[in-house]
Chain A
Amino acid sequence: MFDLLIARWRQGHRTLGFPPAEPVLPDRFRGRPEVEVAKCPVNCRACSEACPTQAISFDPKGVKIDLGRCLFCTDCEEACPQHAIRYTADYRLAVRSREHLAAANRGLALAQALDDQARRLFGRSLKLRQVSAGGCNACEADLHALNTVVFDLGRFGIQFVASPRHADGLLITGPVSRHMALALKKTFDAIPAPRLVIAVGACALSGGPFLDHPETLNGAAGTVPVDLFIPGCPPHPVTILDGLLRLLGRRAEGQPPA
């Protein structure tokens, strides 16, 4: 008993001040990518040729990065002869529409809050059923991290529950393997309406590293309607938390971190 109290005392208070305090992220953290288009040599396609998931394409305004497909790897950075691509420390990535991610290097329309009626329903208590549909367990592991004392998801009234009948929404990870499509649909159907769907990670947004595999369905949106898209491979827990709180209207638009 005495040992227990000492251990508890040593443990101290470990919960992040985020939000409202900005999180402390490692210096090598890769957040929203930016491109200095002026530096791009004419007709250079080095970044798009290096990209493992065809996330980089070109239009008249120059290069654009589809953050829904981006694995946040450094293949494009390394391929760029002009060092025009760099990852910023901006961890805020969640959006309400898949199209909003299509040219993320030009800025993101961060997720708008739900309408007033939905916020009255979910704003102070949101119960989510999580389904991994071909997920590699990295997104899932960082969802577990949200439940630890560090992120303490419960303080926002957000909780993962076992039964879809008890849930207000579905949180999906993974590219939706064909073998999980039916189970995912059944879980969605079992959640009483109105219900939210949150897709977490490159796989659930686009298929990620398994994009266009015949064994997968390129993400959740083909099976269920998605309300919130959180990019990353996997997204940092603060990115997920930021997205959830934006959806619930509990996070005001802040200044981007340096």
Chain B
Amino acid sequence: MAANYLHNGAALAQTVIPLLSWAELRQHILAEVEAGARLAAFFGQPATRERARLVAILAHPGEGNLSAWTANVDKSFNSLTPDCPEAHGFEREIWEQCGLKPEGHPWLKPVRFQPPKSASPGADKTAPIQPGVTDYFQMPGPEIHEVAVGPVQADIMEPGHFRFQCHGEMVYHLEISLGYQHRGVERALLNGPHRRSLHQAETLAGDTSIGHATAYCQALESLAGVQVPARAQALRAIALELERLANHTGDLGALAGDIGYLPTAAGCGRLRDDFLNLTALLCGSRFGRNFLRPGGVGYDVDEARAGQLHDRLQQAAKDAASAVALLWNTSSVRARFENTGHLAREAALDLGLVGPAARACGLARDVRHEFPAGLYRFCQIPIATFHTGNVFGRAQVRWLEIQRSLAFVQEQLKALPAGSIQTQLPQPGASLAAVSLVEGWRGEICHVALTDASRRFAHYKVVDPSFHNWIGLALALRNQQISDFPLCCRSFNLSCCGHDL
């Protein structure tokens, strides 16, 4: 393994990362992606005005490792996107954050409407921000009409702006514009870790508190060069699977609710609450706030508590089977789920989709399996895939994962390793780069931390699974009835704040 290759949850010296010319790096990325690699992260580290170091993190599922590459770029660079569509969002982000133009990008527009970091000295900070004000794809024609929805939408949900080009009820094209939830988390993490950093990691996407906090802690631990005790690794995995259970169950209930099938909507809505309460049994918070600590976990689980968790899970498993089986056995549900929101496997592959949305298209992508860290190195969960790529497939994948997570957590609770739950965490090492991947319930979470000579974060990059997947929703809506948008949207259930950071 070359020096610039590393395992998930490891760190390497920045000096061993090759510095290529952009032409070389571009060629390299294309060749690797062709060979099955994924672009896990691709971002710019602003140096001076209109100059930045581009950093690419490639994930190689075949080898189970990751690699880091860099190139210095002035003003503009030859876009990867036409030859490697999964780079589309990353390149827009580089353009927005560093002011470097990806020449030849097919649809270059703001990602979050944030002012460029590199331009901050001269930038006009008083200029009003106008999120959502940009060019949208428009179809000409007297019978075409445009529907605009959001940012405030018709339910308790995060804000985003959606533009549909419709002919009657039929959607020809959907364009999604986000950025409304931008809170400046990546900027705030700079020069960290700060007192607030862990709490900001937990609230990157509040429904993925455990997922993002695990990624953050794992990055810190690899920078400090420590191993987390086995017991803490097991408890982290239990919390991560409980988070998946709560969200997947809630999603199945919400999908049922969206088509007006109330028995499962009520049953799963209640079960989601039960799973959240199990996380609260671990640490007092239904979303797992404060459960993770850099170096371990904040709360232990004694035998009595493990027994209680186990028994309540067993009951929840029975109830879930009963509530969810109704979905598959009711023809009116199947009629609505099947043939709705279809996304082709090739499209999912090209766009670099992750998580249940990718697995429902038949792509066997799962960090727990491909790049295992922590407990998942020893205890594997089979990857759950389905082949239809539609709402039905995405619901099926969730149900398969619910069953597997239930079995996994119950098994782990019976065999918790002995020992401590925390280890002392020294300061991060100087001038290192750490990559931390976690399979959150939405898919691959990627955190990349670069430290400077004074052991602080010189750069911190967060890639939420939603960053990869929003475009998948846009494509799934093509040739669909516009009234199916809520159902399709729910079947992806993506995060705005995780995307907007």
A179 touches B289 (CB 8 A): no
Any A CB within 8 A of the CB of B188: yes
List the 4 closest A-B pairs by CB distance, nearest first.
A138-B206, A136-B206, A28-B284, A162-B154
Any B CB within 8 A of the CB of A145: yes
A7 touches B497 (CB 8 A): no
Any A CB within 8 A of the CB of B152: yes
A187 touches B152 (CB 8 A): yes
Q: How many contacts A-B (CB < 8 Å)?
A: 191
Any B CB within 8 A of the CB of A139: yes
Residues on A facing B (Cβ under 8 Å): 3-4, 6-8, 10-11, 14, 26, 28-30, 50-53, 71-75, 87, 130-145, 147-150, 160, 162-164, 174-175, 177-180, 183, 186-187, 203, 208-210, 213-216, 233-234, 236
A52 touches B183 (CB 8 A): no
Mark the stretch among B76-84, B216-224, B320-328 that contacts chain A. B320-328
CB distance from A172 to the nearest CB of B (A): 11
Contact with A along B188-224 (1 / 0, CB 8 A): 1000000110111011111101000000000000000
Any A CB within 8 A of the CB of B267: yes
CB within 8 Å of A: which of B255-283? 263, 266-267, 269-270, 272-273, 276-277, 280-283
CB distance from A76 to the nearest CB of B (A): 11
B183 touches A142 (CB 8 A): no
Contact with A along B241-252 (1 / 0, CB 8 A): 000000000100
Give the CA-CA distance A150 to B281 in the complex, in Å: 18
Give the CA-CA distance A177 to B178 in the complex, in Å: 13
In the complex, which of the residues A138, A164, A180, A214 contacts B181, with contact meaning CB atoms closer than 8 Å? A180
Interface centre among A131, A136, A183, by most chain B C-beta atoms within 10 angstroms, is: A136
Residues of B within 8 A of A74 (CB): 290, 298
Give the CA-CA distance A209 to B188 in the complex, in Å: 10
B interface size (C-beta, 8 A): 67
Any A CB within 8 A of the CB of B172: no
CB distance from B157 to the nearest CB of A (A): 7
In the complex, which of the residues B184, B198, B206, B330 contacts A216, with contact meaning CB atoms closer than 8 Å? B184
Give the CA-CA distance A87 to B289 in the complex, in Å: 15
B284 touches A30 (CB 8 A): yes
A147 touches B199 (CB 8 A): no
Any A CB within 8 A of the CB of B124: no
Given A10-B319, A210-B183, the answer on whether A26 and B281 have CB atoms closer than 8 Å is: yes
Closest to A178 in B: B129
Closest to B196 in A: A52
B263 touches A208 (CB 8 A): no
Given A75-B195, A140-B158, A162-B154, the answer on whether A4 and B284 have CB atoms closer than 8 Å is: no
Give the CA-CA distance A140 to B287 in the complex, in Å: 12
